[in-house]
C-alpha cells in the first residue's frame, strides 16, 4: 500500500511526457473546463496560471463534491498545506510548516484572526460555514504587503457565495442539502437562497451541525498500540451558521451591500484520549473544552468598477464590526507518583475563562491603470481589538486528607486593546510582452495596551511597533504554455495580547508562564522560485521556497519556578529557517479518466540552536488520485491516497515516540446527478475515508496525541434550483 501514491505520481509524470501544448480552455465531450481564477494574491482577478505567486484554489465544484467536515479537510490534497487540530470545528490550517497566528485567515479579504488566541491556535475557519463558500484561495508564502500582520506564512481567504447583481429583471436561485458522516454520527442540514429584483439583491443562508465525539481505530502507530478503538473525547460540537445579505445597485458598476453573520457553537473541545487507553496511566490529564462561542459580524461594503476617476478605475470600501465571545474550561490533573505516595494523589487545576473580543475595522482599496500596461493598487486598512475577560483558577491537592482549594480570580491576561493601522501600494509593470513584475510596499503601526482590570494592580503597559515590508513578484512567459515565476517578500507578525501579557499556568499544565510585554515583531524573508506549465492534457507547477524568520517568538524556560512549576516566558529567538519543495500536477488520460499528484518536502531548523527541533508538520508527503468522469457529467468517482514520511525534527513526548512514523491514508469518493424535477436538480455524493481503517495522527497532532477517525462513510444529498 505504501507504494500506491508513488505509482500515481510516476503515472502522472509519464503522462506529462506525452502531453501536447494547446489553448487553456478545453472541451471534454460536453464538459467545458475553465481556467482556475484567483483574486487573493494580487487583488485583481486573474488566472492562477498567470499569477506570479504560489496559490491554491478550491472551487465550488470541489466544495460540493468532496463533502469535507471542515475547510481544512480540503488542504490534505494540496501542496505545502497541512492541518492542526481535530474534530469538526477545531481544525486549523498549516501553510509551509507555519500555523496559528502565523497564518492569516480572511473572509472575503477581511481578516478574521483573533488577537486573544494562543500563538499556536488561530481562529477557527468554522465561523464561516462550508456551504456558504463560493471558493477557498490559499496564498503560500508571506502576504503582509496586501494584508498586514500575521500573514507571515501565508493567507487563507474564504470567499463567500454572492447574490446576482443586475439592475433589471428578477431571478432567484439557491440550494439545500443534508450531510451525514460517521465521524461522531454528524448531521448537517443547510440551505441558501439568493436572488435579485431590479436594483436590489439578497442572500440568506443557514446551517446546523450536530456531531458527537468520534472513535479512532485500533492499530499500531509508532511505539503506540491500541488493541481496540478509542473515543477521542472533546471532539463533539453543536453549532449553527447564519448569514443575511442585502445589496443595492447604485449604477451599472456601483454596488452597496450590508451583511450580517452569526456563528454559535456549544460543547466542543481540543480533543484527547484517556491515558488508560494510551498505556500512560501516570501522565497528566489535560481536558480543554469550549462550552460555548458566539460570533456576530456586521459588514458594509461599497464597490465601484470602471469609474474612470483621475485616481481610480476601481474602488472597494469595507467597514465591519465583530463581537466574539467565548468560554474556555481548562481542567488538568497532575498525578504525584513515587514511593510512599497514596494512589490518586495529585494536583487538580481548573481554569474558567470568559473572553469578549470586540473588533472594529475597515479597508479602503483602489486600483488605477497607468497607461496600457501598468496597474497601481493602493489603500489603507486598520482594526482595533478590544479584549475584556475574566478568569477563575482553582488548585486543589488531593490524596492527602481533606482537600483545601486555592482560588484566584486574577485574570491571566489583562483587559487590553490591540490596534493596527497600515497603508500599502502595489504596482504591476508590464515591462515586456512576456514579463510581468509586481512590486509592493506596506507601512504598519501596531499598538498593544493593557487597561484597568479588576484584580490586577500592576501599572498599565503600552507597546508600540512600526514595520515596513515589501515584495517583488515576477513572471516570465517562455511560451504560451510555460511560465517562470520568482518572488521575494518580507512578512511580519506582531505579538498578540496573549503572547505579550499572559500570566499563569500553561495550557499543557507543565509550567507557569509570565508576561513579556516588550516582545519584538517577527519578520521574515521568503524566496520562491518555480514554474507553471499547461498543455492540452497536462497542468504542472513546481515551487521551491526558503523562508527565514527573524525574531521568531518561542516559549523558553527562565530557570525559576512558580507555584512548584517551572517558569516559562516568550522570547525572540534569532532565526528559524524553513526550506521546501512543492510539486502539483494534473493530467487528462483517456476515456474520461484523469490523474493528479502532489509532492511536498519540508526542512525546518533553528539556525541559532540546531539541536532545538522546530518541525510542526510532516517532513514529506506524496499524494495522488485517479478519477473518472462520465462524458456528460452524470457520474464521477475517484481514488485518493496520501503517503506521509517520517518527521525527525520534532519535539515529542507522546507514546508515539520519535521520529513520527510514516503512514498511508486512502479514500474513495463518488457522486452522481440523479434527476431533474421542475426547476430543481438533485445530486448525491459519497465518501469512504481512511479506507484501510488505519490508526494515525497528523504530525502536528502527535505530541499531544489526537488520532484521526477510523474508516468512515459520509453521504450528502443536494438540491439546486
Count H helices, E strands: the chain?
Answer: 6, 41
Task: Give pLDDT, residue 432.
Answer: 86
pLDDT one-digit tens code per residue, 348-398: 999 999 999 999 999 999 999 998 889 999 999 999 999 999 999 998 999
**Region 585-604 average pLDDT:** 96
The mean of the pLDDT values for the chain is 91
pLDDT above 70 for 402: yes
Q: Which residues pair with 26 in a beta bridge?
A: 33
With a cut of 80, say whether residue 139 has pLDDT above it. Answer: yes
- Give the tens place of pLDDT for each residue, 442-479: 999 999 999 999 999 889 999 999 999 999 999 999 99
Domains of the chain in start order, with CATH, are 4-720 (2.40.170.20)
Distances from the Cα of 231 to the Cα of 88, 214, 248, 276, 471, angstroms: 15, 6, 50, 12, 47
Terminal Cα distance for the chain, rounded:
42
Q: How far is residue 621's CA from residue 613's CA, in Å, rounded to a whole number?
A: 19
Torsion region of 87: left, alpha or beta (phi above 0 gives left; psi -120 to 50 gives alpha): left
Reduced to 3 states, what is the DSSP secondary structure of residue 73?
Answer: helix
What is the per-residue pLDDT for 704?
87
* Cα→Cα distances 186→420, 472, 632, 654, Å: 39, 45, 32, 29
User: Which is nearest to 69 in space by CA: 55, 90, 44?
Assistant: 90
155: nearest Cα among 106, 121, 117, 96: 106
Q: CA-based angle 135:140:146, to the nearest 5?
A: 80
DSSP 448-478: EEE---TT--SPP-EEEEEEEEEEEEEEEES
Closest residue by Cα to residue 131 from 685, 630, 698: 685
pTM above threshold 0.85: yes
Q: Does 61 have pLDDT greater than 90?
A: no
The whole-number pLDDT of residue 40 equals: 94
| Whether the predicted pLDDT of 336 surpasses 60 | yes
Cβ contact 595:586 at 8 Å = yes
How confident is residue 538, by pLDDT bands cut at 50, 70 and 90? very high
Question: Which pLDDT band, with edges at 50, 70 and 90, does 5 fall under?
Answer: very low
| Nearest to 179, CA basis, from 713, 692, 720 | 713
pLDDT of residue 33: 57
**Per-residue pLDDT reduced to its tens digit, 609-648:** 888 888 888 999 999 999 999 999 899 999 999 999 988 8
Amino acid at each position: 500500500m505504501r507504494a500506491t501514491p508513488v505509482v500515481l505520481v510516476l503515472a502522472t509524470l509519464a503522462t506529462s511526457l506525452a502531453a501536447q501544448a494547446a489553448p487553456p480552455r478545453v472541451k471534454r465531450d460536453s464538459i467545458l473546463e475553465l481556467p482556475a481564477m484567483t483574486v487573493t494574491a494580487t487583488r485583481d482577478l486573474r488566472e492562477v496560471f498567470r499569477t506570479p505567486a504560489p496559490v491554491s484554489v478550491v472551487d465550488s465544484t470541489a466544495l460540493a463534491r468532496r463533502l469535507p467536515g471542515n475547510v481544512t479537510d480540503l488542504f490534505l490534497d494540496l501542496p505545502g498545506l497541512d492541518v492542526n487540530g481535530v474534530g469538526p470545528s477545531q481544525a486549523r490550517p498549516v501553510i509551509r510548516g507555519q500555523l496559528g497566528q502565523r497564518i492569516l485567515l480572511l473572509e472575503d479579504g477581511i481578516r478574521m484572526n483573533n488577537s486573544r488566541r494562543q500563538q499556536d491556535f488561530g481562529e477557527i475557519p468554522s465561523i464561516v460555514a462550508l456551504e456558504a463558500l463560493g471558493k477557498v484561495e490559499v496564498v503560500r508564502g508571506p502576504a503582509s504587503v496586501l494584508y498586514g500582520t500575521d500573514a507571515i506564512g501565508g493567507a487563507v481567504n474564504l470567499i463567500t457565495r454572492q447574490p446576482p447583481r443586475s439592475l433589471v429583471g428578477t431571478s432567484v436561485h439557491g440550494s439545500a442539502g443534508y450531510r451525514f458522516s460517521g465521524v461522531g454520527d454528524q448531521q448537517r442540514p443547510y440551505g441558501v437562497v439568493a436572488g435579485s429584483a431590479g436594483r436590489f439583491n439578497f442572500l440568506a443562508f443557514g446551517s446546523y451541525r450536530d456531531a458527537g465525539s468520534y472513535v479512532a481505530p485500533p492499530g499500531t502507530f509508532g511505539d503506540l498500540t491500541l488493541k481496540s478503538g478509542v473515543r477521542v473525547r472533546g471532539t463533539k460540537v453543536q453549532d449553527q451558521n447564519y448569514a443575511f445579505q442585502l445589496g443595492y445597485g447604485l449604477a451599472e458598476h456601483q454596488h452597496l451591500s450590508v451583511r450580517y453573520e452569526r456563528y454559535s457553537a456549544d460543547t466542543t473541545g481540543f480533543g484527547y484520549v484517556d491515558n488508560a487507553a494510551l498505556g500512560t496511566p501516570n501522565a497528566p490529564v489535560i481536558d480543554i473544552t469550549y462550552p460555548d462561542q458566539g460570533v456576530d459580524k456586521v459588514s458594509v461594503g461599497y464597490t465601484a468598477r470602471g469609474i474612470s476617476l483621475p485616481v481610480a478605475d476601481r474602488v472597494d470600501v469595507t467597514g465591519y464590526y465583530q463581537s466574539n465571545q467565548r468560554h474556555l474550561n481548562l481542567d488538568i490533573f497532575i498525578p504525584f507518583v513515587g514511593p510512599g505516595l497514596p494512589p490518586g494523589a495529585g494536583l487538580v487545576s481548573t481554569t474558567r475563562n470568559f473572553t469578549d473580543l470586540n473588533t472594529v475595522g475597515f479597508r479602503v482599496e483602489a486600483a488605477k491603470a497607468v497607461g496600457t500596461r501598468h496597474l497601481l493598487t493602493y489603500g489603507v486598512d486598520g482594526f482595533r481589538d478590544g479584549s475584556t475577560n475574566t478568569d477563575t483558577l482553582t488548585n486543589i491537592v488531593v490524596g492527602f486528607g481533606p482537600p483545601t482549594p486555592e482560588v484566584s480570580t486574577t485574570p491571566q491576561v489583562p483587559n487590553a486593546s490591540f490596534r493596527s493601522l497600515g497603508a500599502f501600494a502595489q504596482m504591476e509593470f508590464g515591462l515586456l510582452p512576456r514579463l510581468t513584475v509586481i512590486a509592493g510596499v506596506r507601512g504598519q503601526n501596531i499598538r498593544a495596551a493593557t487597561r484597568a482590570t479588576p484584580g490586577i494592580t500592576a501599572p498599565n503597559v503600552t507597546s508600540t511597533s512600526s514595520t515596513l515590508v515589501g515584495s517583488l513578484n515576477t513572471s516570465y512567459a517562455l511560451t504560451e504554455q510555460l511560465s517562470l515565476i520568482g518572488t521575494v517578500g518580507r512578512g511580519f507578525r506582531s505579538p498578540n495580547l496573549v503572547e505579550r501579557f499572559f500570566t499563569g499556568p500553561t495550557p499543557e499544565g507543565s509550567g507557569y508562564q509570565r508576561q513579556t510585554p516588550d516582545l519584538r515583531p517577527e519578520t521574515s524573508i521568503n524566496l520562491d522560485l518555480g514554474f507553471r506549465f499547461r498543455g492540452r492534457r497536462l497542468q504542472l507547477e513546481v515551487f521551491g521556497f526558503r523562508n527565514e524568520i527573524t525574531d521568531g517568538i518561542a516559549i523558553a524556560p527562565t530557570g525559576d519556578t512558580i507555584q512548584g512549576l517551572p517558569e516559562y516566558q516568550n522570547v525572540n529567538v534569532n532565526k528559524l529557517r524553513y526550506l521546501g519543495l512543492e510539486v502539483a500536477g494534473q493530467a487528462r488520460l483517456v476515456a474520461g479518466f484523469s490523474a493528479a499528484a502532489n509532492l511536498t518536502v519540508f526542512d525546518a531548523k533553528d539556525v541559532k540552536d540546531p539541536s532545538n527541533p522546530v518541525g510542526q508538520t510532516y517532513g514529506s508527503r506524496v499524494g495522488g488520485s485517479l478519477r473518472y468522469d462520465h462524458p456528460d457529467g452524470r457520474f464521477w468517482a475517484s481514488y485518493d491516497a496520501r503517503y506521509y514520511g517520517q518527521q525527525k525534527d520534532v519535539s515529542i513526548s507522546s507514546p508515539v515516540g520519535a521520529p513520527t512514523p510514516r503512514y498511508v491514508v486512502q479514500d474513495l469518493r463518488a457522486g452522481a446527478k440523479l434527476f431533474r424535477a421542475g426547476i430543481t436538480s438533485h445530486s448525491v455524493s459519497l465518501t469512504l475515508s481512511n479506507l484501510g481503517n488505519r490508526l494515525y495522527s497528523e504530525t502536528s497532532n502527535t505530541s499531544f496525541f489526537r488520532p484521526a477517525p477510523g474508516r468512515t462513510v459520509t453521504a450528502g444529498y443536494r438540491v439546486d434550483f
